[in-house]
Structures are given as C-alpha cells and as structure tokens.
A and B are shown apart, each in its own frame.
Chain A
C-alpha cells in the first residue's frame, strides 16, 4: 500500500523564513496587539484599582461618556488644540523656510544641517529640564539675559500667567519639532528636479512664484505628514508639561496626554484612562483622515 504523502503548503525555505520572523511576530503580538485589545476591553469596565470596594463591573460606554462630559477634559482638549494650531500654524512655515534655505548652496551648509537636527535628538524630558532652567523665575537664563540687556528690571515668573504658560509650552515644543519637519521638507525639496526651477525662470516666474506654484503643491504630501505628526505630538504631549508646569497654573496647561497620564498613573483609574486613550487615538485618526482628504483635494486642484 502506498502511503499518502501530504504536501506542505510552504516550502522549507518559506518555513525557515516564518521561523525567523516568529520571535518578532510574537513580541509584536504580545507587546502591542494584546495590550491594545486589553485596553479596549477594560475601557468598558469600572476598573479603579485604588477603590477595590467598588468592584470591577461592566459599565458599557459610561467611561467614554464620562470623558466626553468631563469639564476638565474639555479644558485639556482646548489647550491641546491650541498647541496643535500653534505647532502647525508656525511650525510649517518656519520649517519650510529652513528647508528652502538649507536647500540652497552656501558655505558650511553640511554643518548647519547637522546643527539643525540637535534639538530633535534631545529627549523630550531633557528638553523640558533645559527649558525649566531657562524659564526659572529666580535663576533662569531668560530673566538673566533680559535684565542684562535692560529690557526688564525684575525677574518674571514666565510660567505664572495661564495664557503665557501655554504659549511657552507651545514654543518649547516647536523648538524640538521644527528640525524634523525641516528635514522632511528638505528631503521633499531635493526630490524636485532642478529643471522645474530653470523652466520657471525661463517662463519669467519670480522666486515666490516658483515657491507658490511649484514647491508648495509638490510638497503637499510632506505637509500632510507634518500635519499628522504635529497633531499627534500635541495630543500625546506629556514630557514638557510634566517637567515645566505640571498642568498648571490652575490647569492652564493641562493637555490630553498629561491628563491621560494622571488618570492612569496618579489616580490609577484604568477603566477611565483606557477610554480616554481610545478617544484620543480615534480623534487623531479622524484628524489624519481629514488632513489626508484635504491635501489630496488641494493636490488634485493644483
């Protein structure tokens, strides 16, 4: 009798390939997908571990409703949107300007490009500590310089005024983000053929015309990436707020990322924090889709 031989669907080479990717696949599943699904699960439960007497009960969408109706969360969302708006409104033109300058030939261009990237490679928490030294009301560098120059006579508590504190956070965040945004624009600029610039000059276009009608439309995909990254940064901002203001004064710099940290790791209210995290993720995704559609429309129109 002839033994039946089942032919495997995979060749030995493919099997070996699967074996090699198995560890990273398991790690990705275990460290990303499982926690993601687990957090989705607990977002429907009242899981407040410091109040165990309340029990862990299924509460449906209550945590989501609590987040949506929470006035503190509204305030945090408002501040986050301001940060995103400042990050986008100032960050995109500034980084595009830097990229255009760095794309032109000038002495020591390579060195300047290297220096530009320094703020981006400094970790956020270290950036926060640097800014806290600069803004310190008693020993800060900013007060020192302004007093030396005679612009102010007494030290100023820069992070005391609610509006100013939020703007200073936005500025500090922008300082760390502009290098990466500029590099992205620079890579986009380098992919635009020189011939287009030459052709536009032959056609009598000014430099501004070249930027307006050639560079900006061709860089729309990069702009989309920068829009999405700045929005995500604003919604997940934690380190600068943690180090500089702790969300104060009086909640003036409370943002969604720091609010999430407090819900999860200070109050240990994991059910509420999970719902909040999912709502942040959904909001950012919706904004990314909106940006994508908008830039696609602009691209088509141009």
Chain B
C-alpha cells in the first residue's frame, strides 16, 4: 500500500517538474518573483536593425510609475534599441528597500536604477551606480536644468540622467483672496501670514495654510528646507558642518511654529496628517486658501470633476523670506547599476527614456516633470505649460533649492522631522531643538564616516 502511494507521489512530482520545466522564463517573458510585471512586451526586434537585439534588461518600479505613457515610451525604446526591458512592479514602499538590498548584495538583478536626490549621496558613496561622465556628451550635459543637474551630481561626477525632476509650486484660491479684498497673492512669508490672518478674521477660512506634517513624513523636511533656503539659510557649511542651528535655520523652524501656535494659520491637525492628497483636498473642500504641492496640481484641481471650486485655483511664486521666491525641487535620476552586465545596452535604453525626447513625450502625455532646458523651451511644451500656469512654473523652475545630499540622509531627515514635531507640539524651543539636532548630526557623521 505504502509503496503504491510512494510511486504515486513520485509520478506526481515528475509531472509537476516537467510542467515547471516548460514554464522556465525566456528573455521575452515576464520575470517571476512575487511581483507582477509590466509593461507590454513587443515582438523582438530584428537583430540587423537593432544594436542590442537579444539583450534583456531589468528595472524595478511601482505601479504608479508604470503609467500608460511610460509603458508606451518603454515599448518605443525597446523598438529603437532592440533590448527587451522587463519591469518588475512592486508596491511603492518596497521599491527603495528592494533596490537597495539588491545593490548592497552587488546583484545584477536590476540594470536601470532610479535615484531620488535624498539617496544620491548614499548611492554615490556606496559605488552602486555607474558614473556617466564617460557616456554623456557635453551638449546633453549643458542642456540639463541646474536643479535637475544637482539631483544627479555627486562628488563632481554625474550619476544619472534627469528623471521626473519635479518641484513644489505654490497654489492659492484666488476667489477667497478676492472675497477678502486681497489683490495679489502673497510674495513674502510675512505677507502670507498677514493675508492668512485677514482670511481668518473675515471668517472665510479658519486655517488658511494647508500643511501635512505628520510624524515620519518627508514633507516636514521638504517644507523646512524650502522655508530655510528662502530665508537665506545654509544647512551645512563648506566643510559639511551643520549650521542649521544658527540664524535663518532656526528662524525657519520658528516660523513653522508661529504659523501653528501663534498666528494659528496652520491647523494643528497638520501634525497628524500625511500626503499631498490630504493637503490638496483641504483646498478642494474650501478649508484652506494656500498650499504647496508637487508637480502640476492645477490639472487636477481645476477639473470640475474633482471639486466644486474648480477654476478658483491659481499658481503664484513661492513666498520669499529675503533670499528670493525659492521653492523646493525633488529631482530624481535614472542611472546604470554598477553591477549591470549590459552597461552599453542600458545606456542606450536610458538615453531613450530619460533623454530630452523621452521626457518631452512623458510631459505631453501625462504631465510628468522634466529636467532639460530644450524641453522647457520647446513650443509644444510651452503651449501645454500655459494650461498649468506655465509662466509661473517656468519662473519657479529658476528659483529652486534641494535638500542636502548626505550619506546618512535617512537618519538625519528622520531626526529633523522629530525635532520639528517636538517644537510644534511645545515640547522644545526652536533654538535648543536645533542645537540638539546639530549635535546628533555630528554623531551621525562620525558613525557613517568612511
């Protein structure tokens, strides 16, 4: 009896094994793993016309990144270069963790690597990505917008091509301002506070400025950096020593605190909220008049399908704190993994999707931000930009700051977020809290020292 069962088990195993063998992935099928795979795979290009026919490349992305426009661009670039691109799609929270785990193991699992500016120094210091200085020509290099170039440069080397180089824009409700008798949107932080107080006093809105400063939310670091830079602060000196605990660095935190606790123009509930959607929705619901949002938010906000207040929203330059109307850029880069076995093919594909033509195509199709001067000056792009408050967007693009590029950025940003929350909940004074953060930053520098 047992022998019969055993023979049966062996037979079942053999059948299963043979099924598995017939399902071994080929170059044109999706990679397995727990993740799903986009995009559509076109037929293999003919080897004669395609320089990298037969080469299969891999990259990691979230479903949000794999828009219809992106998939179409990937298909076009596959057709042009001959490579087959397999995109492993995972949840947005997993992209960074999975990528860094693979790179730390020196794995060739992914050929194309996306880098956010906040991780740039870490990737550079770790040697995880291929410096592109020997690949990129001077014309392309000089075409890159300055803030986008900052998002891909580390220690004098270029580590990637610009990718979705977005920045925050300042949105206001022009109807509310008009109802309050305010002729122009605020041009300085003082005016923002003064206008907000008028809006409050006239009963138009209780908390005019919408912010989301929930615990552990990167937007805290973004907003602090933007305010500090607009006030002329440097967060670190030339030698990398923290100086955010002096002058405008502390004043910026004090302003954040005053907006919540003294002037009461930011809802204290902001300290429990996260997400750009949450603060955008406060304007859409008529609960706030001013907000900073990433990308091109007017496309959504002025769509009547999304709000009864559609058409009331407009863009203005970010308020100045004395150093100009500075907003914050969050440029990203697309790079070649240092461990890729197909660097030339990856570069060809990279140029196609992250070069000026690829970025222009994505902008025209789904409004994705771009990082090239030639794209910015393109007539088609200019026409489309006009629909999004383009002149302001174009001017804002010339007045941007970025967050510091630090090998220990995650720890530092997390500590800054905690510091801001402590001050805004009344548990610490701005100066003392920033002094403590500076001391912790020096400890981090020692821990991470190469």
Q: Which residues of A contact B (CB under 8 A)?
A: 12-13, 16, 19, 49-54, 137-138, 155, 157, 159-160, 162, 245-253, 262, 265-268
Contacts and interface: CB of A to CB of B under 8 A. Distances in A.
A158 to B, nearest CB: 8
Contacts of A267: 410-411, 414
B63 interface: no
Given A248-B215, A267-B411, A52 B418 contact: no
Given A51-B448, A245-B215, A250-B427, A157 B272 contact: yes
A50 B122 contact: yes
Contacts of B140: none
B450 interface: yes
Contact of B271 (A52, A160, A247, A262): A160
Given A160-B425, A249-B421, A53 B214 contact: no
Contacts of A162: 425, 427
Contact of A160 (B6, B217, B269, B408): B269
B79 interface: no
A160 B421 contact: no
A245 B407 CA distance: 27
Contacts of A52: 104, 126-128
Contacts of A268: 97, 100-101, 104
B34 to A, nearest CB: 15
B41 interface: no
Contacts of B100: 49-50, 268
A50 B414 CA distance: 15
B202 interface: no
B48 to A, nearest CB: 42
B267 A51 contact: no
A157 B104 contact: no
Contact of A49 (B104, B267, B269, B282): B104
B423 to A, nearest CB: 9
A150 to B, nearest CB: 19
A49 to B, nearest CB: 4
Contacts of A248: 214-216, 271-272, 421
B422 interface: yes
B351 interface: no
Nearest to B409: A50
13 contacts: A16-B6, A137-B272, A157-B272, A159-B272, A160-B268, A160-B269, A245-B272, A246-B214, A246-B216, A247-B215, A249-B424, A252-B425, A267-B411
A157 B267 contact: yes
B2 A49 contact: no
Contacts of A245: 214-215, 272
Nearest to A53: B450
A266 B216 CA distance: 11
A125 B122 CA distance: 32
A266 B418 contact: no
A295 to B, nearest CB: 38
A138 B282 contact: yes
Contact of B425 (A49, A246, A249, A265): A249
Contact of B422 (A16, A137, A250): A250
A142 B405 CA distance: 42
A209 B414 CA distance: 55
B15 interface: no
A53 B408 CA distance: 12
Given A12-B2, A162-B425, A249-B421, A266 B410 contact: yes
Contacts of B125: 51, 53
A158 B439 CA distance: 33
B287 interface: yes
A247 B216 contact: yes
B309 to A, nearest CB: 16
Interface in B144-195: none
B274 interface: yes
Contact of B410 (A13, A50, A251, A253): A50
Nearest to A52: B126
